[in-house]
Amino acid sequence: MLAVVSLALGWILLPFYGTILWSAIIALLFRPWFRWLLPRMKGSRTWAALATLLLVLLMVVLPLALLTAALGREAALLYARLVSGELNPAQYFRGVFVALPDWAASLLDRLGLFNFDVVLKRMSEALAQGSEFIATQALGIGQITFDFVASLFITLYLAFFLIRDGAGLVRSAKRALPLAPSQQQELLDKFSTVIRATVKGNLLVAAIQGALGGLSFWFLGVGGALLGGVLMAFLSLLPAIGAGLVWAPVALYFLLSGAVWKGVALIAWGVLVIGLIDNLLRPFLVGKDTRMPDYVVMITTLGGMSVFGLNGFVIGPVIAAMFIAVWHMHGEKLPAD
């Protein structure tokens, strides 16, 4: 009966798993602030939780809203330049084709891609399909905005109660678990540590890589530097290769279009600075605290994102950590050889 009702509740809450996940993450990350504010609010858990939620709004929600507004303005400006003809991708690509070395031209010729007009036609067809898709999706932008605002409200609403009553919920869960107190504490500590390390570590690495990438685009005169920086920040959640998916094509374009020093500078910056941030900070911030090997963190992050989408960068390592912890406890109960 316990299994049936638990599965039934999980099935009902499945559409809101992302909202519940981020509510729990907010409560866990800002719990120290709540404990610090509690005595200063004369022991009122409600007022301390409200003050903590205000910090969440000021430190997380407001900066994201400002960044989204700036990103929207830059995207609109980029679109206006495309419509007016000031920005002409076809002209840029033609210059790249003309500047191709002989070995690259022969390779593209064997692949049937050296004819620029044919390639441009294929690109135009792809862009037309993409524009049609965007146009159809734009009709539902009001619904998308409403869904996002509703999800944000539910997330903060749940986070308030998890911040205020989280300690009691954890005590109830520990009483119900059929495990020894030491095993309960080990699982709870592992879960909390992995959540904190994964979220704080990955988001910090993403923010640093995005800022460094956007700064390099701005310095080299690449249009849409903010948009490129945000893309690098999102893609840097993919370990090792993420940010390179943005800066590497731009560097290749510089090399093929004759701006060799810009291409070399961007490659050097991407490999030695942006890549070094990923190789040094991510294992230190994520792998060190979770006490999992770097390759386990990387493969579970990629696997989690392939299964759960963006939320997978948290869920994947958490499942791996729970797997390791449970099998470790099981191994300790087995008789020694």
Confidence of residue 8 (pLDDT cuts 50, 70, 90): very high
Q: What is the mean pLDDT of the chain?
A: 75
- pLDDT of residue 1 exceeding 80, the answer is yes
Q: How confident is the model at residue 138, as a pLDDT?
A: 47
Q: b/e string for 257-269 if b means 16 or more Cβ within 10 A?
A: bebeebbebbbeb
Highest mean pLDDT among 27-31, 86-90, 233-237: 27-31
Across 14-23, 145-154, 235-244, least confident range: 235-244
Phi-psi map region of 309: left, alpha, beta (phi>0 left; psi -120 to 50 alpha):
left
Break the chain into its structural domains and give their ranges.
16-176, 180-330
- Under a CB-based contact definition with an 8 Å cutoff, are residues 95 and 257 in contact? yes
Average pLDDT over residues 83-104: 59
For the cut 80, the answer to whether the pLDDT of residue 3 exceeds it is: yes
pTM of the model: 0.69
Instruction: Give residue-wise pLDDT tens across range 197-256.
Output: 778 777 888 888 888 888 888 888 777 777 778 888 877 777 666 777 777 877 877 776
- pLDDT tens track for 61-76: 888 777 777 766 766 6
